[in-house]
Amino acid sequence: MDRIEEIRVFFKKLLALRGDRQSFSDQSSLFLSGRLGSVEAVEVVVLLEEKFGIDFTETGFDETQIDSIDAIQLLIRTAKSPSRAE
């Protein structure tokens, strides 16, 4: 399972814990739309720190950064780009 798929499965699990079994796409807004809240945001932050080595003290944190699968992909790409590290 690739890492983005892992995030999809993780989101599915978080939604299921809130009793939300409706489908979502990579573009679906999950936090701004209220489907997930700050409780779940904390779990996503920990996942991204542990699996992708993202340091939010460096990048700054805003819930829109993790609002959708696409947004997370962009965050991962930006965090790994050399220009950011320089």
Q: Which is nearer to other proteins, 6 or 49 (CB)?
A: 49
Should residue 83 be labelled a site residue for other proteins when binding is judged by CB under 8 A? no
Residues in region 6-65 near other proteins by CB under 8 A:
15-20, 22, 27-29, 32-39, 42, 45-46, 49, 56-57, 60-62, 64-65
Rounded Cα distance, 45 and 24, in Å: 20
Encoded tokens for 78: 């930006």
DSSP letters spanning 34-67 = SSS-HHHHHHHHHHHHHHH---HHHH---GGGGS
Q: What is the contact surface with other proteins in residues (CB under 8 A)?
A: 15-20, 22, 27-29, 32-39, 42, 45-46, 49, 56-57, 60-62, 64-65, 67-68, 70-71, 74-75
